[in-house]
């Protein structure tokens, strides 16, 4: 935190600095070097996780990856096929209308 010019506070101690505090955009991580195929894990500052098997079913909110890697919290998809998430059946209104307009006489 900064309270006075040319001084900062870290963990309750005040430290003098040589110049004024300057904002600058800095890269958080060193550049990543990719050799070979570029995949979803080749991002500089992101890490991706994907699961292709949800055959364990639903009901896991706080997941332990080693134990519940094939389960999910909630889904309306068909989960019984390894490597596939099949969308639920499309709901389509094919019935008769509940209100019928009467023709004027």
> Which residue from 75, 42, 45, 41 is spatially nearest to 58, judged by alpha carbons?
75
Q: What is the pTM of this model?
A: 0.39
CA dihedral (53, 58, 61, 65) positive or negative: negative
Q: What is the mean pLDDT of residues 58-79?
A: 83
In a domain, 62, yes or no: yes
Higher pLDDT, 23 or 1: 23
Please check the confidence at residue 25 and state whether its pLDDT lies above 70: no
In a domain, 93, yes or no: no
Q: Which domain holds residue 80?
A: 50-86
Q: What is the mean pLDDT of residues 20-32?
A: 67
Q: What is the pLDDT of residue 104?
A: 66
Cα gap 27→102, rounded to integer Å: 70
DSSP state of 87: P
User: What's the domain count of the chain?
Assistant: 1
> Given the DSSP bridges, would you call strands 57-58 and 71-72 parallel, antiparallel or unpaired?
parallel
């Amino acid at each position: 935190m900064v309270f006075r010019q040319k001084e900062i506070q870290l963990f309750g101690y005040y430290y003098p600095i040589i110049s004024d505090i300057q904002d600058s955009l800095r890269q958080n991580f060193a550049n990543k070097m990719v050799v070979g195929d570029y995949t979803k894990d080749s991002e500089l500052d992101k890490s991706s996780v994907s699961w292709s098997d949800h055959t364990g079913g639903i009901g896991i909110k706080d997941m332990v990856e080693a134990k519940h890697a094939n389960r999910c919290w909630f889904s309306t998809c068909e989960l019984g096929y390894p490597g596939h998430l099949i969308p639920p059946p499309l709901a389509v209104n094919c019935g008769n209308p509940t209100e019928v307009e009467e023709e004027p006489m």
